[in-house]
Structure 1
Amino acid sequence: MRALRLTAWGEPPTTAEVERPVPRGAEVLVRVEATGLCHSDLHVMGAVPGALPYRLPFTLGHEVAGRIADLGSEADGARVGDRVVLYGPWGCGACDRCATGRDNYCDRRDTLAWHGAGLGRDGGMAEYVLAPSARHLVPIDDLPADQAAPLSDAGLTSYHAVAGLRHTLGKGTTTAVIGVGGLGHLAVQTLRATTESRVLAVDVREDALALADRSGADFGTLVRADTAQVLRARTGGTGVDAVLDFVGTTQTLELAVGVLRPGGELAVVGSGGGRLAVSKPGVLPPGFKFSLPFWGTRPELAEVVALARSGAIHVETERFPLSAASEAIDRLRRGRVRGRAVLVPD
């Protein structure tokens, strides 16, 4: 079968012919219908030797949807023919957190040579992908594959970040979403579907603000010198109750701090390498709370799928054949993808 493989750190992936996997034991073989392309993939491709614990080569792709094609002799809880989305983060499988579907916070994460499908283990940018266990599969029924695949990271990560703030997002509150790309536009929709908070969107691109508007944002603004004042004006001067930062640069972190009201919460999802100085007293608002949500849990992925099947959230996608992966990667790197890029087998 064809697969997009990372064979050298810092080099573009290459298309190769590899053996179709054969499931053994508890393993489940999934025929891939769609695989999302993520900025995390760019980080993996561009990593310097030794930065990640992964062993080369491996097939990329951690946002995967498809149909179960074959089962190992000990596979339980799966049926050939069922359509599923893969839960992307794969932990040790033995700690208390993995046992409850929280592989994203596996206690042994730092000791593993992988972090999931396409992250040290063969992923879904291929015709088939092997899941180590049926516990990593969530049914999608009739949900289109190009909608289901991005839910496993873009949808799940956004949902998990919003869930961590939901306790503070009641009626009369305001949330700012910084960065309205593949994750941010789903965060806007998740906020509208699961909270009563007003949503203010911020980006550097006009087309991203148009996407925010289509996703249900109450207001959108470009990043300018007065963006903090513009956002505060939308709250009557008090500031916003929460900020979801899907960029994570020093500039966006400073903007977040500048618009939060006392007791406000900041969740940083983006990996822009920004720094925020914490001191007391200092510039941070009194009662400031900070979190670094990572991916999400398997039960939350089932909740995201349910939202998508109900029509409450919809992923804006651009589809590319797997053979055009290099074009999709280049466009993502240049910020030219609308929503989420999705690769489908030729």
Structure 2
Amino acid sequence: MAATEAAMASSSLSLETDTAPVLESAGTAAATAAISPATAAGATTEDPDTKSAMANKLLSLNGVFAVHKPKGPTSAELLNRLKEKLLAEAGMPLPKCNKRKKQTFKIGHGGTLDSAAKGVLVVGVGRGTKMLTSMLSGTKRYIATGELGKATDTLDSTGKVTEEKPYDKITQEDIEGILQKFTGNIMQVPPLYSALKKDGQRLSTLMKRGEAVEAKPARPVTVYSISLQKFQPPFFTLDVECGGGFYIRSLVSDIGKELSSCANVLELTRTKQGPFTLEDHALPEEKWTIDDIAQALELCSSLLPEETGLKKPKPEEPKEEKEESKEQALSCECVSLNEVKVEENVIQTC
């Protein structure tokens, strides 16, 4: 500690975070080496003009792209992780809620994936958040692995087993023979553990509290194609292409019942949403950078129909207003769109 103080005193440096560069002097190397890792993490040698340029580039991002969601986090948690990485790269502080302050940066996702699921998650930034609604009505494709013989309260492997039935007599031909019943325009009862709401609260939240929840009535959904990819009892793998509002967990559960048994989802991967595919368009976390997202937005803009194109940006604000805005904390709006009643499920947070 004494060595640290001596080194810093001899160099006459004032180490600051985020916006101020470390001045070059004969004692700089000694001072940098002597300070604690925590202090070093807060210091930066980056030119403030570079930080300003990155911040401006972040705020100029507009459009829709896709990220690769892993198993574990919820879609909202993943969006927050993405937001924090971008703000950190731009050298901008995390926003604080202030409804009076003009929103300057918007980010949102369209089409929630369960925490146990992985795959394509569509994200909108800037004016692109207004395009997320169209993503919900587009087609989606999933690879789902079901487990015969067990039913759970969540309809997937994360829930409590509520029923067990034999499955040893079920054959591959049996499964293939009933898939036609789940193709086309069909009626489907949504899971109790879902983002659907009752009295303004999600059914999944009410269920976790132990409150009694009635199942929502069956509603029309569309399955464009469904095929059996693999059958190794008790597991079976499906390739499903469907429209908005469709629940794979309900499908797998219904298939189990149709086979005089029961079933739950063991693994679920969304491989496609709208024009975005997991293989070609979904950015892994190591590419969640401002430059990589800018490139992805440029690529993805060619995938979207012309009628969903972004409007021209408003005229630039005067230079003096720009300079003033650099000194202000960034305001941020996060938008989350669920599969139903989109207009009622816009969530604004900071």
- Pair in the same fold by TM > 0.5: no
Higher relative contact order (CA 8 A, sep 6+): 2
The structure number with the bigger radius of gyration is: 2
- TM-score band (shorter)? under 0.3
| TM-score, normalised relative to structure 1 | 0.26
| TM-score, normalised relative to structure 2 | 0.26
